[in-house]
Chain A
Amino acid sequence: MISRDDVAHLAQLARIELEATEIDHLAGQLEVILGAVARVQEVAGADVAPTSHPLPLKNVFRPDVIRPSLTPEEALSGAPASEEQRFRVPQILGEE
């Protein structure tokens, strides 16, 4: 069972602000989704290995070669604020 508290906790971890009505709504929806996944698990037999990736690939590597980077101007062009060629972000922690 997905409780309201679970949804509130997940929302907090994901930094999503939710109204009380939204929490109720999402708890119900997540319950349905988990139910669907559980059914898939029932179908998968012991001969089906758990998978985290749809592609049958492994060891996809690139050689250790430098490629051109963005210019600092390009890198910072989408930043809401910048200073000293760095991204400026709001206060991270308040006073101790």
Chain B
Amino acid sequence: MSEAMLDYEDVIAKYEPTLGLEVHVELNTNSKMFCGCATVFGAEPNTQVCPVCLGMPGSLPFVNERAIESTILIGLALNCEIAKWCRFARKNYFYPDMPKNFQISQYDEPICFNGYLDVEVETDEGMQTFRVEIERVHMEEDTGKSLHMGGATGRIHGADYSLLDYNRAGIPLVEIVTKMIPGTEKYAPLVAKAYVAELRDILRSLGVSDVKMEQGSLRCDANVSLSPRGSGILGTRSETKNVNSLRSVERAIRSEMQRHAARLDDGLKVVQETRHFHEDSGITTSGRSKETAEDYRYFPEPDLVPIAPDPAWVEELRATLPERPSVVRARLQKEWNIADKEMASMVNAGVLAVVIETVALGADSTKARSWWVGEIARQANERGVEVIDVGITPADVARIVELVSTGDLTDKLARQVVDGVIAGEGRPDDVVATRGLKVVSDDGALLLAIAAAIASDAAAAEKVRGGNLNAAGALIGLVMKATQGQADAAKVRELLLKELGH
């Protein structure tokens, strides 16, 4: 099953990659695209369905205005032109995830088109900007969810039958398609990841989607092809689905480049097909071949009238656009007085947005950065989740920074509070209370512990009295142990030295 892979450096020596990325975003509207059913994630099956999204005869779709508005906002944020007039189209196919036997989508008249997004990637020559051109942004509806029953693996192949939940069917979905992205060279996997990350940050700043990759509200299909270096001949592409995290975008592209190159080196052809990415192994396997598909017989949706956004409305929306993430980054770098490399490490860790929120809540920028880039990113990485999903919020971090600055927590205790919050023990103050993590700031208690330490290691105490301050370390260690790490070490040192005549 596993296919030959060429070493990545050899891939780059011989071939040039071309990328293409399709991102699907579920909008966070209250109600569905064409009916008033709710859109709550994780609701009991088939509790958010009605005759419209179940495709019952005689039902008619009715367009959600906020979905149109959100899509236009996305187009504007991606520097797109907005169509003066466009229509929905029927995409006809038979598959149980769409009970109407068609999906309402857009075909040759997308609502937004011809845009671009600049993404920054750290290269051997420092930060470099890659321009990703956007082909189109169009509206459609999401499909139902299937459970495949029987068979060993829960996969569709070999299943005896399937069970359908249509809660997701009809949730507004926006598809964002790039043009072909040439010239990324060995950075192709990083550019793909940076594009999805930047897009996610923009969508979040617009407030139009939850953008949770692990819940499927942001989904990426990654296309890549290779052409022999200098040949100018575009290779055959494969399209990898199921790419459910930023890290997977990078891995999937890299793995496909290595697989394509191995085939081309062996004189084999790359098959144009859909591939499925497997998080565990980091490789892709063949999905449905595309040769027989793609006969969707699109035609203008007869049940919906055209959409012609009023230019005044579009300009009103343009005026509400938040600052572009790249502009925000340049401004913050100045305000926080940090270098390119530090900004890059935040962007790469996917923590910039949460650091901004933490600082907005009053935390010192250096402290906020250090928590998110350090301890929290590390724990997220260990769990294989995005930093924003690890279970600690900017408000939590801001509170922890505050508790340290007021002297209620030491850095060491603060780390335990972070652990506790991530472990689901509640907010920082809850963790402090239940774990009993207050700094022992009561001088009396500290002096008792210091006296005990001096008594138990009289030799060290004698050295300190004699002027060897290095020997104080052992005594401070004893005090910290006695107070279970809950004392401020600097304070202990001060009191101890005073006690020993300094």
Top 7 nearest A-B pairs by Cβ distance?
A67-B36, A52-B300, A61-B65, A86-B163, A64-B66, A87-B164, A57-B305
The 13 listed contacts between A and B (C-beta, < 8 Å) are A13-B92, A13-B297, A53-B300, A53-B305, A58-B308, A59-B305, A59-B308, A61-B63, A62-B65, A70-B54, A85-B165, A88-B164, A89-B163
CB-contacts of B28-87 with A (<8 A): 29-31, 35-38, 44-51, 54, 62-68, 85, 87
Is A48 among interface residues, defined by CB-CB distance under 8 A?
no
Partner of A13, one of B163, B295, B305: B295
Q: Contacting chain A: which of B5-13, B154-162, B468-476? A: B154-162
Partner of B159, one of A69, A70, A75, A92: A92
User: Please, how many angstroms separate the alpha-carbon atoms of A45 and B29 in the complex?
Assistant: 43
Is B147 among interface residues, defined by CB-CB distance under 8 A?
yes
User: Please, how many angstroms separate the alpha-carbon atoms of A76 and B299 in the complex?
Assistant: 30
Q: How extensive is the interface on chain B, given as a class? A: 35 or more
Interface core residue of A63, A87, A88 (most chain B CB under 10 Å): A87
Partner of B37, one of A61, A67, A76, A90: A67
Beyond known contacts A88-B163, A88-B164: 9 more, CB 8 A cutoff:
A59-B308, A59-B309, A64-B30, A69-B47, A70-B54, A72-B44, A84-B147, A90-B161, A96-B157
Cβ contact within 8 Å between A63 and B65 = yes
Q: Report A-chain residues with C-beta under 8 Å of the C-beta of B305.
A: 53, 55, 57-60
Q: Report B-chain residues with C-beta under 8 Å of the C-beta of A44.
A: none
Is B166 among interface residues, defined by CB-CB distance under 8 A?
yes
Cβ contact within 8 Å between A69 and B163 = no
Is A47 among interface residues, defined by CB-CB distance under 8 A?
no
- CB closest residue in chain A, given B150: A91
Number of interface residues of A (CB under 8 A): 37
- CB closest residue in chain A, given B31: A66
Cβ contact within 8 Å between A87 and B63 = no
User: Please, how many angstroms separate the alpha-carbon atoms of A33 and B140 in the complex?
Assistant: 31
User: Please, how many angstroms separate the alpha-carbon atoms of A71 and B51 in the complex?
Assistant: 11
User: Please, how many angstroms separate the alpha-carbon atoms of A70 and B35 in the complex?
Assistant: 12
Cβ contact within 8 Å between A69 and B37 = yes
Q: Report A-chain residues with C-beta under 8 Å of the C-beta of B295.
A: 13
- CB closest residue in chain A, given B304: A60
Given A52-B302, A53-B300, A93 contacting B157 (CB threshold 8 A): yes
Given A52-B300, A59-B307, A92-B95, A72 contacting B36 (CB threshold 8 A): no
User: Please, how many angstroms separate the alpha-carbon atoms of A47 and B355 in the complex?
Assistant: 59
Cβ contact within 8 Å between B30 and A65 = yes
Interface core residue of A55, A60, A66, A96 (most chain B CB under 10 Å): A66
- CB closest residue in chain B, given A62: B62
Interface core residue of A64, A94, A95 (most chain B CB under 10 Å): A64
Q: Report A-chain residues with C-beta under 8 Å of the C-beta of B94.
A: 15
Is A42 among interface residues, defined by CB-CB distance under 8 A?
no
Cβ contact within 8 Å between B48 and A69 = yes
- CB closest residue in chain A, given B145: A86
Q: Report B-chain residues with C-beta under 8 Å of the C-beta of A95.
A: 157-158
Q: Report B-chain residues with C-beta under 8 Å of the C-beta of A19.
A: none
User: Please, how many angstroms separate the alpha-carbon atoms of A91 and B163 in the complex?
Assistant: 10
Partner of B161, one of A13, A60, A85, A91: A91
What 1/0 flags go to B2-33 for Cβ under 8 Å of A? Answer: 00000000000000000000000000011100
Partner of A84, one of B31, B35, B163: B163
Partner of A86, one of B35, B45, B67, B85: B45
Partner of A76, one of B46, B146, B307: B46
Q: Report A-chain residues with C-beta under 8 Å of the C-beta of B50.
A: 67, 69-70
Is B96 among interface residues, defined by CB-CB distance under 8 A?
yes
User: Please, how many angstroms separate the alpha-carbon atoms of A71 and B85 in the complex?
Assistant: 38
Q: Report A-chain residues with C-beta under 8 Å of the C-beta of B37.
A: 66-67, 69
| Shortest Cβ distance from residue A27 to the other chain B in the assembled complex, whole angstroms | 18
Q: Report B-chain residues with C-beta under 8 Å of the C-beta of A63.
A: 65-66
| Shortest Cβ distance from residue B147 to the other chain A in the assembled complex, whole angstroms | 7
Cβ contact within 8 Å between A66 and B36 = yes
